[in-house]
Amino acid sequence: MRTLVIGDIHGALRALVQVLERADIQADDYLIFLGDYADGWSETPEVMDFLIGYQKKQRCLFLRGNHDALCCEFLLGKEMDTLWRLHGGKATEKAYRNVSAERKKAHIDFLNSLENYYLDSKNRLFLHAGFTNLRGIAHEHFEQMYYWDRTLWELACSVSLPKTDKYYPNRLKLYNEIYIGHTPTT
């Protein structure tokens, strides 16, 4: 059994399907999606439909990203700001213009079912963005940090110390491995 981690689809159905095909997904594979299924490319509703259906035939875990939280607010009819539209929301807004209320409800249910993080039996942490509490994810005061924080990535990038060094950040010592999406790396 393989554990495969996929992050930041951002409404790109064709790219998602291509990744899954190239990964040659097997029946016993476990797929962990790190969030941000929405916003960016023009196929957010199709991505949602695909993932909802895919979890019926493949073992999957879906985590919440910041764009998923924003997309859910949009689908619930909340007033969205210009910044969201500039960061991919405009494509999502346009893509949902002709989507039925029933289909939107299924997408809202899916978005509300997303987990904030996952800690496996090997002490590997999976989340969209990060956490700030020095004692770990279970002690985080604001759940939004799991899908908005960038300091975990910044901290990991800035550390050149060996893990055994007394000045190595405690936050990075808590877990054997940490898998995140959220921050572009190229």
Tens digits of residue pLDDT in 1-12: 999 999 999 999
Residue 185 lies in a domain: no
The rounded distance, in Å, linking the Cα atoms of 111 and 154 is 27
**Where does a domain end: 115, 140, 168?**
115
Query: What's residue 110's pLDDT?
Result: 99
Query: What's residue 163's pLDDT?
Result: 86
Residue 184 lies in a domain: no
**Where does a domain end: 115, 147, 167?**
115
Query: In this structure, how many other beta carbons lie within 10 angstroms of the beta carbon of residue 26?
Result: 10
- On whether both 89 and 174 belong to a single domain, the answer is no
**Tokens representing residue 172 in the block:** 């990075």
Residue 63 has what DSSP assignment?
A: B
Query: What's residue 156's pLDDT?
Result: 86
The rounded distance, in Å, linking the Cα atoms of 132 and 104 is 33
**H or E segment to which residue 117 belongs:** strand 117-119
The residues, any chain, with a CB within 8 Å of residue 26's CB and separated by 6 or more, are 2
On the 0-12 / 13-18 / 19+ scale of CB atoms within 10 A, 128 is buried
**Where does a domain end: 98, 115, 132?**
115
Q: Tell if the pTM clears 0.85, that is, is over it.
A: yes
Task: For residue 160, name the pLDDT band (cuts at 50, 70, 90).
Answer: confident
Quote the number of domains for the chain: 2
10 phi-psi bin (left φ>0, alpha ψ -120 to 50, beta other): left
Query: What's residue 185's pLDDT?
Result: 62
- On whether both 43 and 90 belong to a single domain, the answer is yes
- On whether both 23 and 46 belong to a single domain, the answer is yes
**Tokens representing residue 65 in the block:** 């990203």
- On whether both 165 and 74 belong to a single domain, the answer is no
Show the domain range for 166: 120-179
Q: Is residue 180 classed as helix, strand or coil in its secondary structure?
A: coil
